[in-house]
Amino acid sequence: MSENVIKSMKSRRSRIASLIRKELSTLFKDKISMFILFIIPVVMIVTVGAGEVAATEYIDVDVWVIDFDNTYDSNRLIESLRKNVTVTSNWDVQDQYTAEEFLDKAKETLPTTLIAAYIIIPEGFGYNLTEYGKTSLEVHVDSIDFISALAAELLIQLGLVQFQLESFSVEAEIFYFPEMQPELSFSNLLQAGAPSIVSIVLFATANLVATQSVVGDIPLKRLLTTPLYRSEVVVAKNLAYSIVAVFQIIISLGLLKAFNVPIYGLFIDVFLILWLCSMTGISLGVLFSTVSKTRLQAAQMFLFGFMIMLIITLMVRSPFVLPFLPLEQTQVAFSNVAYRGMSLLQIIDRILYLILDTAIFFTINIIYLRRKKEFV
Amino acid sequence: MLKSRKKKEIPSDFNTNYDIFMRDCSVSYDGKTVVLKDVSLDLKKGEILGLIGGSGAGKSTCMRVMTGQVKPLKGFIRTANCDVFSQRSLLVQKIGYVPQLEYLSLYYDFSALDNCVFFGRNYQLGASTIKKRAREIMKILGFENESLLKKPVKYLSGGEKKRVSIAVGLVNTPQILFLDEPTTGLDPHLRISVLNFLQKINKEYGTTMVIVSHDLEVADYCTRVAILNFGELVGFGKPKVLVESLPSNGQMLFAKFNQIDIRTDPGRIKEIEGVENVLLAGRNKLKVFVSDISNITPILSKISDLNLELKSFTIDSATFLDYFRIRGKSLETKEFAKKEK
């Protein structure tokens, strides 16, 4: 390598380092950014956990079970459910009602909120389970009473998981936490909420704060009259925010640890995957910031982009789009590593998608900033 | 296949003594409207150039051509002996830039010294070198108190912010400093004070300066002035020479009357033979430019014939403002005529 190239690379490195220093100083002085980066994730993680505690601990859930099967398996299921909710089955009231009469009574009682749900165990429940390893049952909840319905669904789900664990009829999609024996405690409820939000909150907050990085840096136009290159600006902004993300991740993981949420993956793997999630959010945020003309526009872009991603991720779930959606990849990658104990190698496809997304946002950003006329 | 690049011809009068050398530069942003038309000007090392004109005159575009931010349709431009396009990375090392508005060009939450460090580091300067240099400049700019240097910029006054911005522009010891409207928005006292500071810097470091302004006071501090009007260079040279280009080498009759009607009397006086221009100069005062100031008696008697009571008169030298008013007026008329056509 010629001396000039080495000199030029050193100059670049020095300019980028200087811009990172400036960016970090600016960021740490900005109270709103600090609030978004460090307070919101903490509040959200705790709120979701506490919210689920409220939905379950303080509601006495009554469930009626109408058992048309009356086999060993159906009885065992009822016993599993009893561990989590107050169950009244047709066998408990067989002196007063037949199964059909008890079903009619359940239909009448559900809207009165005396019960949170009723479950119908159809005939053949045990046979199907033994023969095919699959079976079905109907759970009826009162959707108008949202909190009761939520609590009932969650607790019935816990009972079912327990039942399936005992009967060895493991179906992967039912088991969200296969190693866990669910109990009604704060940490387990936090754990139930955490997989879906930790990575998303980190992605979103990094994304949101980064949307102000270029458009909010008003004197940047003057900085660009110095030997600083536009591509260096993009590199420095991304790196500066990724340094902040490190602190953010440490705080979030510390919070999970404080609430005794068991993490099954290696700490370094969990850390790296969260950092990658944040990096994807940051690169998208800096891109929004470069494209926007005002701070408000940048914030709107974040909101619009996030809503679209959320809708596609949660509702549309198009297989053609999902692999490229950072939100989906972020959430699945983190859940797999943190809660299923998978290694990074096992989720290499998700990692590659996230790296690809980051690289795409980063490249578009450099190209766009180079052509941006407002800086002339 | 290699494309053969047409080499730009270097004008015969170009030499390396010039810090700015511009010949026949034209600019159009949309390819239709020409915002700068065949502008030629030059500036030697250590000189101060004032780019003066009204809004939309092409001053900022002209400066952007000099700094390589805008590529002209045609023409030749060298700044600090660099080709502004092919040697851009070298050029940015040699120039400093002070934008018009401080709130768009300084980090308000940080001190003057921090701002100097942020910008200075891009020139591969160490923090201690930058701080030493910044303190030196700020001293010339009147920042005697160390606490002012460490105060966040947002707590400084308008004039202090302006000086911080100038210091940031000078932190890399530039060969040429470009200043965009450095006196706009400042009160008269601060305007003069900022211009005095700039002159001090120019004397101290020999920094060549290009000042874009619509403020005519700037001309008094400039070695050369370029007057732009609708993209055309209508006057370029030393302010004194430009003023001397007025009738009678810039000498005029400064007349005080008991009573004049500003709507009609200046026009009546202008119709007198030998009178070239008449300018209002305050309450019942006129500046009368005549073709031959040594032969003033017949003109004074003709003024008396108009029933105007002359209280007193002196022979005085015209100012740059007078030059601008006269040339500007004729240009406005010319432009209007052009539009009418």
| A244 — pLDDT class (breaks 50, 70, 90) | very high
Q: Which of B69, B110, B122 lies closest to A227 in CB terms?
A: B122
pLDDT at residue A8, rounded to an integer? 84
Report yes or no: B167 at the A interface, CB cutoff 8 Å: no
pTM for the structure as a whole: 0.73
Q: Quick one: which of B160, B162, B181 has its CA closest to B51?
A: B181
Tokens of A363: 């490249």
B9 assigned to some structural domain: no
CATH number for the domain that contains residue B205: 3.40.50.300
Distances in whole angstroms, Cα of residue A242 to Cα of each of A274, A284, B292: 11, 12, 76
Tokens of B239: 């302010």
Residues in contact with A111: Cβ distance below 8 Å, sequence separation at least 6, in sequence order: A142, A144
This model of the complex carries an ipTM of: 0.79
B115 and B61 assigned to the same domain = yes
| Residue B301, min C-alpha distance to chain A (Å) | 59
Which has the higher per-residue pLDDT, B56 or B225?
B225
Burial class for B267, CB neighbours closer than 10 Å (0-12, 13-18, 19+): exposed
Determine contact, residues A270/A339, Cβ cutoff 8 Å. Answer: no
Contacts of B70 in chain A (CB under 8 A): 376
Question: Cβ–Cβ of B67/A225 closer than 8 Å?
Answer: yes
Q: Quick one: which of A218, A28, A19 has its CA closest to B120?
A: A19
B7 assigned to some structural domain: no
Q: Cα(A295)–Cα(A17) distance, rounded to whole angstroms?
A: 25
Tens of pLDDT, residues A63-109: 899 999 888 888 888 888 888 788 899 888 888 888 899 999 988 88
Question: Cβ–Cβ of A15/B122 closer than 8 Å?
Answer: yes
Tens of pLDDT, residues B105-162: 899 999 999 999 999 999 988 899 999 999 988 888 888 788 888 999 999 988 889 8
Q: Quick one: which of B4, B18, B3, B2 has its CA closest to B76?
A: B18
Report yes or no: B88 at the A interface, CB cutoff 8 Å: no
B159 and B225 assigned to the same domain = yes
pLDDT at residue A173, rounded to an integer? 33
CATH number for the domain that contains residue B265: 3.30.70.980
What backbone phi and psi angles, to 5 degrees, belong to A283?
A: -65, -35
pLDDT at residue A191, rounded to an integer? 54
Contacts of A227 in chain B (CB under 8 A): 89, 92-93, 122-123
B135 and B216 assigned to the same domain = yes
Helical packing angle, A230-258 and A3-29, nearest 10°: 50
Query: Per DSSP, which regions of chain A are E strands?
Result: 62-67, 86-89, 117-121, 138-141
Count of structural domains within chain B: 2
Residues in contact with A317: Cβ distance below 8 Å, sequence separation at least 6, in sequence order: none
What backbone phi and psi angles, to 5 degrees, belong to B214?
A: -110, 10
Tens of pLDDT, residues B226-250: 998 888 888 899 999 999 999 899 9
Q: Cα(B51)–Cα(B181) distance, rounded to whole angstroms?
A: 10
| A172 — pLDDT class (breaks 50, 70, 90) | very low
b vs e for A128-166, b when ≥16 Cβ sit within 10 Å of the residue's Cβ?
bbeeeeebebeebbbeebeebbbbbbbbbbbbbbbbbbe
Tens of pLDDT, residues B1-14: 344 445 567 888 88
Number of Cβ within a 10 Å radius of residue A359: 12
pLDDT at residue A183, rounded to an integer? 42
Q: Cα(A62)–Cα(B205) distance, rounded to whole angstroms?
A: 87
Determine contact, residues B166/B100, Cβ cutoff 8 Å. Answer: no
Q: Which residue of A has its CA nearest to B90?
A: A227
B41 assigned to some structural domain: yes
Domain-terminating residue out of B240, B256, B287: B240
Question: Cβ–Cβ of B104/A221 closer than 8 Å?
Answer: yes
Report yes or no: A18 at the B interface, CB cutoff 8 Å: yes
Q: Quick one: which of B37, B17, B25 has its CA closest to B65?
A: B25
Residue with tokens 């008329």: B333
| Residue A215, min C-alpha distance to chain B (Å) | 12
Q: Quick one: which of A103, A90, A174 has its CA closest to A138?
A: A103
> Which residues are registered as beta bridge partners of B22?
B41, B77
Tokens of B150: 């460490």
Tens of pLDDT, residues B57-111: 889 899 999 998 888 988 999 999 998 888 888 899 999 999 888 878 899 999 9
Question: Cβ–Cβ of B99/A222 closer than 8 Å?
Answer: yes
B251 and B170 assigned to the same domain = no
HEC string for chain B: CCCCCCCCCCCCCCCCCEEEEEEEEEEECCCCCEEEEEEEEEEECCCEEEEECCCCCCHHHHHHHHCCCCCCCEEEEEECCEECCCCHHHHHHHEEEECCCHHHCCCCCCEHHHHHHHHHHHHCCCHHHHHHHHHHHHHHCCCCCHHHHHCEHHHCCHHHHHHHHHHHHHCCCCCEEEEECCCCCCCHHHHHHHHHHHHHHHHHHCCEEEEEECCHHHHHHCCEEEEEECCEEEEEECHHHHHHCCHHHHEEEEEEECCCCCCCHHHHHHCCCCEEEEEECCCCEEEEEECCCCCCHHHHHHHHHCCCCEEEEEEEECCHHHHHHHHHHHHHHHHHHHHHC
Q: Quick one: which of B2, B176, B148 has its CA closest to A225?
A: B176
B154 and B36 assigned to the same domain = yes
| B178 — pLDDT class (breaks 50, 70, 90) | very high
Tens of pLDDT, residues A20-78: 999 999 888 888 888 888 888 777 777 665 554 444 454 567 889 999 988 888 888 88
B339 assigned to some structural domain: no
> Which residues are registered as beta bridge partners of B79?
B20, B82
Helix (H) or strand (E) holding A80: helix A72-82
Q: Cα(A198)–Cα(A177) distance, rounded to whole angstroms?
A: 16
Determine contact, residues B190/B162, Cβ cutoff 8 Å. Answer: yes
B217 and B278 assigned to the same domain = no
Q: Quick one: which of B224, B146, B160 has its CA closest to B197?
A: B160
Number of Cβ within a 10 Å radius of residue A197: 19
Q: Which of A15, A218, A227 lies closest to B93 in CB terms?
A: A227
B260 and B140 assigned to the same domain = no
Number of Cβ within a 10 Å radius of residue A310: 15
B290 and B149 assigned to the same domain = no
- Calculate what percentage of chain A has a pLDDT beyond 90: 32
B137 and B274 assigned to the same domain = no
Number of Cβ within a 10 Å radius of residue B25: 24
B341 assigned to some structural domain: no
Number of Cβ within a 10 Å radius of residue A351: 18
B298 and B163 assigned to the same domain = no
Residue with tokens 């006196």: B183
Q: Which of A187-201, B35-49, B252-266 has the lowest mean pLDDT?
A: A187-201
Sign of the torsion angle spanned by Cα atoms B267, B271, B276, B281: negative
Sign of the torsion angle spanned by Cα atoms B81, B82, B83, B85: negative
The vertex-B98 CA angle with B96 and B99, nearest 5°, equals 135
pLDDT at residue A168, rounded to an integer? 56
Reply yes or no on whether the pLDDT at A152 is more than 80.
Answer: no
- Give the residue numbers spanning the domain of B175: 18-240
Q: What's chain A's Rg over C-alpha atoms?
A: 26
B47 and B75 assigned to the same domain = yes
Report yes or no: A29 at the B interface, CB cutoff 8 Å: yes
Q: Which of A335-339, B19-23, B120-124 has the lowest mean pLDDT?
A: A335-339
B111 assigned to some structural domain: yes
Hey, where are the domains in chain A? 56-181, 187-371
Report yes or no: B110 at the A interface, CB cutoff 8 Å: yes
> Which residues are registered as beta bridge partners of B229?
B232
- Report the CATH number of the A56-181 domain: 3.40.1710.10
B11 assigned to some structural domain: no
Q: Cα(B311)–Cα(B284) distance, rounded to whole angstroms?
A: 10
Question: Cβ–Cβ of B118/A22 closer than 8 Å?
Answer: yes
Tokens of B235: 């006057």
| B328 — pLDDT class (breaks 50, 70, 90) | low
3-class DSSP assignment, residue A224: coil
Question: Cβ–Cβ of B123/A223 closer than 8 Å?
Answer: no
Q: Which of B70, B92, B109 lies closest to A227 in CB terms?
A: B92
B211 assigned to some structural domain: yes
Q: Cα(B322)–Cα(B282) distance, rounded to whole angstroms?
A: 13
Which has the higher per-residue pLDDT, A202 or B103?
A202
pLDDT at residue B120, rounded to an integer? 92
pLDDT at residue B336, rounded to an integer? 43
